[in-house]
Structure formats: structure tokens, C-alpha cells
Structure 1
Amino acid sequence: VLFRMNFLAVCLCFAMNRPYQFYYFVPLVSFWYAVLYVTLAIPPQITAASTEQNPLHYFYMVIKLVVLIALSTMLYMSEVFFERIFVTRPWKALFVSTDDDIHEWWFRWKLDRYSITFGMIFGYLYQLAQRYRLIDDSNHGNLWLRSVSLLVTLAGVAGLGGYLAFSFLCVTKERCNEVHSYLVFAPILSYVFLRNVSGYLRTRYSPFFVWFGKISLELFVMQYHIFLAADTSGILVLIPSYPVLNMLVVTFIFVCAAHEVHAITTILTPYAVPQDWRAMLRNIVVFICILIPIGIHDGMF
């Protein structure tokens, strides 16, 4: 997963001489994915099988979530402490911008500081609900009885409507960003409920959006160099004086390029991240050997 998320961005960083934070979404997602992995990997490792054998593992999972929330809150409450951690060499280069500034990473990080925790809590509750047969999504019927489904649907509509009202009524951007960190789960959870309560909706999907979803990461990264120009300060113009035609042509090139990059990444993944641990270790050593001289040249050490 980390290879697929970072392959294109890292290649572009080397080719275009851009900092890793230039494609801020990639380092942000990679960071939280690593946090998720470390949180679950720290002993005791909790799995569905382990919870059946030892119900105390549910409690251990709650402790892990509480600790993760506490650490995120501590980092948020002290920007100085935050900078001391992320501006430490050698990983400083992963979090600073071109002018050696970390405020962009600070802004992106604090905006979604609880998002991964909300996702983990939802997954945890979902597994509990399945374990105790509170929901059953293995069929084409509704998740609950009609009365419960109606209440959940109304709650979903209220959640989306409430967040929409908040978005319009919020006075300042700073205030919106601050509250967003605590309410980000509301519209997502509301959509999940509305999408899945009904068996009719849950068992249907759009192949078009599925296809676009598979290349969404490539679309995000490549927009900086195909849709946009001049370090995102301009737009790419191939056909002057015809803006609509230019947009159609650029969009076609953009989507095709993203699709091809996705296909290339899929082909290279098993070679870059092989199943054999010895081959994997070899690749890691080679990658580190490539990074060390680059890091020395850029002052990482």
C-alpha cells in the first residue's frame, strides 16, 4: 500500500526537484497509514481470532485508541513540541516545504488529526456489531428492521444537513477548520448509513466511479503537472483561445496518463515489494543506499 501511494510522488520529487510535501496528500495519508499500522502492531496484537479467545482484547483495543487520541491531542496543544518531533533529522526533509518551513504540514496534520482514530473506532464498532449479530450485511435486505432503518436514515439526513448548515453558517475559515477536526466523522458516517441501510442501495454501485476510484491517487498527484502549471500558479493551455476545447483535451490526456501510471505501478509493485522477505530486505537496502547520498547532498544528516 505504501509503495503504491508513494511511487509516483517520489519519482516526481526526484524528476521535478520538488519536496515531498509538494504532494501533501501523499505524505499525509502515508503518515496516518503508518500510525495505524504501528498502533495495531504494538503488543498485544488484536485480531478477530484473538478477541474470541480472549475478550480482554476488546479492552486493550480501547486503551490503544485512547492513547492514540491523547498523543494526537498533546501534539496539537503544543506546536513547539510538534516541531521538535517533525523537524528532527533525518526525517525533517519529509515534512518541510521548499523554504524549510513546517507550517504547511502542521496545518494539514491538525486538520485531520482525529480522522484516522474515528475510522478505527468505526471499524472496531462494526466488528463488534457483526460479532453480536446487531447487523448483517451479507444479504440483499435492509440492515435493520423497518422502524430502526427509518430512524437511522433520518439520523443520516440530519447529520448531512447539520454539517451542511455548519459549513454555510461558519463565520471564519479558522473557526471552520478548528471545528472540522471534531465533526469530520458526521457527514462521512451519515453517508455510510444512507448508502448501506437499504439493501437495494447497498448491493448496487457505479462501475464508472469504481474505475475512477482506482486511479484517484494518480489523478490527485498528476493534477499538479497536467491540469496545472507553474507550480500550481497557472493552468496548462494547449489550445489557446478555446478554453472549453482545451479543457476537454487536457482532461483526456490527464485521465489517460493517470490510468497508465496506475497500471505501471500495479505491474511494478510485486517486484518492488516481493513476498519473499529476503528479496524485500534486498530492495530496502538498495533503496536506502540510493537515498543516503541524496540525503547527504540535501543536508538531511
Structure 2
Amino acid sequence: MTDASGKSLVLAMCIQLLISAFLFLSAYSHFHYYWTTGNYQFLPFIQMLFKYNFLTITLCLLMNRHYQSYYYPPLISFYFTLMYCILAFIPPKICAESVKEKPIHFIYLLFKLLLMGILVTILSMSAYLFEKIFTFHLWNNLFTTSTITSSLAAYVQQLDQSDLSHNGLHQLHTLLIHDKNSLYYNEYNTLLDYISGSGQGIVGPVSMNGISLNDRQYLYSNLHRYNMNSSTHLYYDRNGTINDWYHRWNLDRYTVLYGICFAFLILFIENYDAYKTLGIKRKQYQQLTSKLKTIFCLLSFFGLISYFIVLFLCSNKAICDEIHPYIVILPEYD
């Protein structure tokens, strides 16, 4: 199945599934570590963030690219930080030993996971709150992007509506050559001048050498895409846009939570002490865990099939993106 641009939806969503799977496995491994060791020290947390971001930051500095130019490091860094803050900073610090000594810690863990789910849900539903948090001036540059397309969208949003009412987007083609009304800033005489001034990398303005905007079809299609996304009322200005970050963040808003819950479920199933309190002998425990693992394998197989069935039923990419956070759990348990 393909969308209007001719790109395969199934291929695009398979790539997104791989990204989600990596996030899922990262959450699984981090929670497994915290649960079994109880080591919530700050230094290992910083070391892990360094591993995630060292190459990315180096490339940003050497190539004058924005941090959001790289898809995965900002995503895993944010969700790992959120996971660490909730598990480590909100007392009590919970691990296997603490739950064994104080069973009430199990309830506290459930409250922490519920809090994490509520936070990401609120941010997903409130574009205004999302904008205010991630465009705060201290870390604004980490989450905003400044590209030719976003700059064009920002430029167009400053134009008076009457300037686009006749002939629609075709009138924009003349703005590439000369903005005779100087509708945005007096110092910018052409759209190319505006883009050159607003396209910022991590260490300064991005060079426009070798970049051409003569492809009218590319211009119109991208402008249409940003106008379609404008219903989310997210942030545009000369310094960049958080639309790219919002889209990436929103696709996997529950993936890390799924990974944590699955890790806890597996650890609980493999914990013989929990079965011993119920009077189950070790041989019965081994047989029971073997059956449970078989059931999980069958469920994951059907979940993977169900996921691809849903993908083939999607009529466009927007619908697939909308349901992805809810159905991604089906193949990930595989």
C-alpha cells in the first residue's frame, strides 16, 4: 500500500517499528538493571547519556548540524531521562530487595508507572503545554529544528491571508524571486534571504551554497504538508519549529512504558520466591513458567500478524501514525 506521495506505508511503518523496538529493548534492559541491582546512582546515568550522545554531538559540531537532525539519540535520551527521574528521584527507590523487605513498594512502583503514563498522555494531548516546556530558552536549541521547509512555513505564516487568497500557492512562486511588498522584515528582500538568515545550525547559520528552490512541486508539496500539520498549533518562528520533535516523540510516547511493564512481568514470572509463598514446588514452578513462556510466544506471533494487518488497512500515513502508539505493543512482545 502506498500513500499519495507514492511511498510505501508498510515500509515506512516497518522502519518505525524497528525504532520503537530499540526503545522497547532499551527500556527493558534499563529497568532490569535497576530492579536487580538497585543502583540508582547519578554517575552511571550520566555515563549512559554520554554513550547515547557522544557521536551525535560530535557530528553536530563538526558538520554544523542541529541536534534534531539525528532521529534516535534525542528520543532515547529524553525517555531514558524521564524513566530515571521517576524511578530515582521520586521516593522510594524500588528494587527486588526492597520489594521483598517491604511489599508495599510494589504498590509504589505501580504508582510511578501510572504517573509516567499520565505525564506523557498530558503532553501528547496538550500541544500548548508541550510547546511551553520544550521551547524554554535553556534547552530550546535541543528540540527545535530550523530547516528550509520550516523556515518557509514560518515565512508564509507571516503573510497576510489576502496575499494567498488568489491563485493560491502559485503566487508564492513569485516570492522566491522578489517579495515586492516586503511583508515580513524590511531587511529581507527575497525568500532566499529570509531562509539564509533563519537557517541555523548548532554553531551558526547554515550555508545556502548549492541549495536550489526552483523545484516548484517540492515546494508546494512541503508547504501543503506543513499547512496540514498546522492544526496541532505547534510552534513556528525564525528560530525553528518543534513539529519534528513532537511527531517523533508522539509516535513512541508509550513504548518505554511498555518495555518497563514487560520487564517487570518477566522478572515476576521468573521469581521463584513469589511462587513459593503460594505453596508451589520448584518442579511445578518450572512447568508453569514453561507454559507461560509458550503462551507469550503464541500471543506475540498473533500480535505481529495483527500489527501488519492493521498496517495494510491504513488508508494513509497520518492514520498509521495515530494508531501506532497503541498497537506497537503487539509485535514488540515478540
The alignment's TM-score, normalised by the length of structure 1, stands at 0.57
- Matched residue of 1:171: which SS? coil
Q: 1:183 to 1:143 in 2, by over 3 A?
A: farther
Structure 1 residue 12 displacement after superposition: 0.8
Q: Which has the higher contact order (CA 8 A, sep 6+)?
A: 2
The answer to whether 1:160 aligns with 2:294 is no
Q: Which amino acid aligns with 1:105?
A: W
Distance in 2, matches of 1:110 and 1:143, equals 40
Deviations 1:205-236 (A, max 9, x none): xxxxxxxxxxxxxxxxxxxxxxxxxxxxxxxx
Structure 1 residue 128 displacement after superposition: 1.9
- Matched residue of 1:18: which SS? coil
Q: Which moved more, 1:153-162 or 1:84-93?
A: 153-162
Alignment match, 2:139: 91
Distance in 1, matches of 2:293 and 2:137, equals 52
Alignment match, 1:182: 326
Alignment match, 2:97: 49
The answer to whether 1:123 aligns with 2:263 is yes
The answer to whether 1:170 aligns with 2:218 is no
Structure 1 residue 172 displacement after superposition: 1.7
Alignment match, 1:102: 242
Alignment match, 2:109: 61
What value does the CA root-mean-square deviation take over the aligned residues?
2.0
Check whether the contact 1:159–1:187 (CA below 8 A) recurs between aligned residues: yes
Distance in 2, matches of 1:49 and 1:145, equals 22
Distance in 2, matches of 1:12 and 1:182, equals 34
Deviations 1:78-119 (A, max 9, x none): 111100000001100100012411100000000000111111
Distance in 2, matches of 1:29 and 1:146, equals 33
Q: 1:143 to 1:40 in 2, by over 3 A?
A: farther
Q: 1:72 to 1:148 in 2, by over 3 A?
A: closer
Structure 1 residue 54 displacement after superposition: 0.3
Q: 1:37 to 1:147 in 2, by over 3 A?
A: closer
Structure 1 residue 185 displacement after superposition: 1.3
Distance in 1, matches of 2:93 and 2:129, equals 29
5 Å-filtered alignment, 1:197-236, equals: none
Structure 1 residue 30 displacement after superposition: 0.6
Alignment match, 2:81: 34
Distance in 2, matches of 1:145 and 1:105, equals 41
Check whether the contact 1:143–1:149 (CA below 8 A) recurs between aligned residues: no
Distance in 2, matches of 1:153 and 1:63, equals 29
Check whether the contact 2:116–2:257 (CA below 8 A) recurs between aligned residues: yes
Distance in 1, matches of 2:287 and 2:136, equals 49
Alignment match, 2:56: 9
Distance in 2, matches of 1:50 and 1:147, equals 29
Runs of at least 5 residues in structure 1 that lack an aligned partner in the other structure: 136-141, 192-301
Distance in 2, matches of 1:150 and 1:127, equals 16
Q: Which amino acid aligns with 1:110?
A: N
Q: Which amino acid aligns with 1:77?
A: M
Q: 1:134 to 1:144 in 2, by over 3 A?
A: farther
Structure 1 residue 143 displacement after superposition: 7.4
Structure 1 residue 144 displacement after superposition: 4.8
Q: Which amino acid aligns with 2:309?
A: A
Q: 1:97 to 1:55 in 2, by over 3 A?
A: same
- Matched residue of 1:30: which SS? helix
Structure 1 residue 120 displacement after superposition: 1.1
Distance in 2, matches of 1:155 and 1:29, equals 27
Alignment match, 1:216: none
Check whether the contact 2:301–2:331 (CA below 8 A) recurs between aligned residues: no
Distance in 2, matches of 1:147 and 1:129, equals 11
Q: 1:148 to 1:86 in 2, by over 3 A?
A: closer
Distance in 2, matches of 1:172 and 1:50, equals 48
Alignment match, 2:232: none
- Matched residue of 2:270: which SS? helix
Q: 1:96 to 1:148 in 2, by over 3 A?
A: closer
Alignment match, 1:73: 121
Instruction: Percent identity, please.
Output: 38
Q: Which amino acid aligns with 1:157?
A: F
Alignment match, 2:43: none
